[in-house]
Amino acid sequence: MSTFKTDPPDVAQWQARHRTFDQTLARGEERLAAKGRLRALRQPAGLDLSSNDYLGLAEHPWIRQRLQAALADGIPLGSGGSRLLRGNTAHHEAAERAVADFAGAPAALMFNSGYDANVGVITTLTGAGDRLFADELVHASMIDGMRQTKAVRHNFRHNDMAHLRELLARDAAEHMGRSGTRFILIESVYSMDGDVAPLQEIVALAEQYEAFLIVDEAHATGVFGPQGRGLCAAQGMGHVPLVTLHTCGKAWSSFGAFVTCSEAVKQRLINRCRNFIFTTAMPPLTAVHHLAVLDVLQHESWRAEKVLALAQRFRDHMHGRLDMGQSVTQIVPVILGTDQRACFFAESLQAGGYDIRAIRPPTVPRGSARLRLAFNAKLDEADVDRLAALMGKLLLQVTD
């Protein structure tokens, strides 16, 4: 017989404990606010230059018709379970076959988010005795995956091939004749800087030091390569990475992600990846969404061409006047240095009708607070010209 106390809980006492805990949390947020780094949720307002809807597909009428038709045909609204239970449908499998074909890979596996995919791939494919060589600016999901694995982690300076070579050479000397696998982890397009990885040099180093590549194409998928297949495909290296990640929440304007890989890697993920096994599958309607996006990419390549041209138009306007890093993509950072300066520019541009947000540490390195301009196919040249003119006026104000 249970000896636990069965009297009703003292609600007032619990509420008092909750208030004390809430006050402790609030003090932490007050410290963030004092530094100008308190985050808050805001709804969209103004011309979009902050979302990742690069191709403008979030409101695409034909994609909407495809989804409406699927609903009219009675597609289930939910999956009802994990893929390994009852959550696997013909729609999921059709999307995976289509994405594998799109990427020119033997197989593809759908994940519920890019974050889940990166953490799952790294923790499932790497382990004790392995060594990971990651660009210092890889996404938080890759960083969290590396933190959870028993593999040894090495960071190389962003896009610094001499530093990567040095780390690989040292590792080769120290581990000669010993077991373990080397992996190089990169993004093809870096989300806060808008620059690209030197893929040719990275592949050469991977070959020399017998390392496998894991490439996150999140911000390249849909924008670069034939029919938006990504930067690896654009440079003729689509078959080189062991694993390539294509997220659906950026240029595809959906959500979820696909890992493209060999059939053996896919089976390992299905059987051992906790991020895949222990989660409810995405609704079948999402798979229909993905298939519709693939059709649009095949027939509307002008969207990617337009967005890259708009970004270049802005860079041309502001050349020599703004620090835009090494951007060559649809993402253009405006590096302003201090949090206060970044917030001033963001608030002023918002007042001018643009939805532009300030990006501050710890999202970016200390002293590199910035605006992250994400150009998209819904904009036109007049929007870009007016933005450049407004930016020029603000530069005069801060200079004065």
Q: What is the pLDDT of residues 347-366, one digit of tens each?
A: 999 999 999 999 999 889 99
Task: Classify residue 1: in a domain, yes or no.
Answer: no
Q: Are 318 and 11 in contact (CB under 8 A)?
A: no
* Rounded Cα distance, 369 and 387, in Å: 19
* Rounded Cα distance, 102 and 121, in Å: 20
* Rounded Cα distance, 215 and 118, in Å: 10
pLDDT, residue 77, reads 94
Residue 255 has pLDDT above 60, yes or no: yes
Q: Are 255 and 88 in contact (CB under 8 A)?
A: no
Q: Do residues 335 and 281 both lie within one domain?
A: no
pLDDT, residue 191, reads 95
Task: Classify residue 80: in a domain, yes or no.
Answer: yes
Whether the predicted model's global pTM rises above the 0.85 cut: yes
Instruction: Give the residue numbers marked as catalytic.
Output: 52, 139, 187, 191, 216, 219, 250
The alpha carbon of 233 is separated from its chain's Cα centroid by a whole number of angstroms, namely: 18
Strand order in the sheet with 358-359: 331-337, 369-374, 358-359
pLDDT in tens, 24-62: 999 998 888 887 778 888 888 899 999 999 999 999 999
Q: Do residues 384 and 355 both lie within one domain?
A: yes
Q: Are 327 and 194 in contact (CB under 8 A)?
A: yes
Domain boundary among 299, 324, 355: 299
11: tokens are 């609600």
The residue written with tokens 């999202």 in the block is 363
pLDDT, residue 5, reads 67
Beta bridge partners of 135: 156
Confidence band (pLDDT; 50, 70, 90) for 2? low
> How big is the CA angle at 255 (ends 254 and 261), to the nearest 5 degrees?
110
pLDDT in tens, 91-138: 999 999 999 999 999 999 999 999 999 999 999 999 999 999 999 999
Q: Do residues 146 and 184 both lie within one domain?
A: yes
pLDDT, residue 399, reads 63
Helix (H, G, I), strand (E, B) or coil at 185: strand
pLDDT in tens, 207-237: 999 999 999 999 999 999 999 999 999 999 9
* Rounded Cα distance, 5 and 92, in Å: 49
Q: Do residues 125 and 223 both lie within one domain?
A: yes
Task: Classify residue 191: in a domain, yes or no.
Answer: yes
* Rounded Cα distance, 377 and 67, in Å: 22
Q: Do residues 213 and 355 both lie within one domain?
A: no
Domain range for residue 379?
Answer: 45-57+302-399
CATH, residue 140:
3.40.640.10
pLDDT in tens, 272-324: 999 999 999 999 999 999 999 999 999 999 999 999 999 999 999 999 999 99
| Count of structural domains, the chain | 2
Q: Do residues 207 and 311 both lie within one domain?
A: no
